[in-house]
Amino acid sequence: MRDLADEELMQLVRRGHPTAFEIVYERHSGVAFSLAYRMCAQRALAEDIVQEAFLALWRSGQRYDRTRGSVRTWILGIVHNRAIDALRRRTVRDRGRVRDEGLEERIAAPERTDLEVARREEAREVRSALEQLPDEQSRVLELAYFGGLSQSQIASLLNTPVGTIKGRMRLGLAKMRMTLGDPAELAP
């Protein structure tokens, strides 16, 4: 069974074959973890993301469509989406916790220097500008800057021509420059 191509293994996974799933996991879990870790920079969170992604693969193997790309591309897309969801949940949770407790206004923590406050405010502005972009533009920018992927890797992952990826990045960065008002900050 180890000699089967990923696409053939996915047909067996669709039918609930655990050995086929195990082989798919062995082949792709390393690169899946690498992507998750690059995106979230926390080992435990990256492990959880990969586990969730492969559980989704096991539960919904019928969604894989070989005409839309390779199994690896499909798995990395699931991992990417799960990682972004986890990062957004963490951001919302952390933001809510600070607001609820009101600590920012009452207690000056030593790590909250003026430089750190400015950096966090700048990060909030960049996140806000990124959220204003169309999904296809924000997704390629997130994959490039948070995922550390090259344009050709993003094109492969999204099953989209490299020229389209370059165009989306160029448009997204231009819109962010306009929103942020400082073209030097986001020079490509």
The more confidently predicted of residues 163 and 116 is 163
d(CA 57, CA 52): 9
Task: Please give the angle made by the CA atoms of 112, 39 and 164, to the nearest 5 degrees.
Answer: 120
State the average pLDDT for the chain.
81
- pLDDT band, residue 170 (cuts 50/70/90): very high
φ, ψ (nearest 5 deg) of residue 113? -70, 170
d(CA 21, CA 35): 20
Each residue's pLDDT tens digit, 135-163: 888 888 888 877 777 888 888 888 889 99
Residue 92, number of CB atoms within 10 A of its CB: 10
Which residues, in sequence order, are CB contacts of 38 under 8 Å at separation 6+?
146, 147, 148
d(CA 25, CA 72): 10
136: its two tokens: 């296809």
Statement: residue 175 has pLDDT above 80: yes
- pLDDT at residue 126, as a whole number: 78
Statement: residue 111 has pLDDT above 80: no
Cβ-in-10-Å burial (0-12, 13-18, 19+) of 34 comes to middle
Overall CATH class of domain 1-107: mainly alpha
- pLDDT band, residue 93 (cuts 50/70/90): low
CATH value of 109-188 in 3.40.50.300, 1.10.10.10, 2.40.30.10, 2.60.40.1180: 1.10.10.10
- pLDDT at residue 186, as a whole number: 44
The more confidently predicted of residues 30 and 126 is 30
Predicted TM-score of the model (pTM) = 0.52
Statement: residue 80 has pLDDT above 50: yes
- pLDDT at residue 183, as a whole number: 47
Statement: residue 185 has pLDDT above 50: no
- pLDDT band, residue 94 (cuts 50/70/90): low
Cβ-in-10-Å burial (0-12, 13-18, 19+) of 123 comes to exposed
Q: Spell out the domain ranges in the chain.
A: 1-107, 109-188
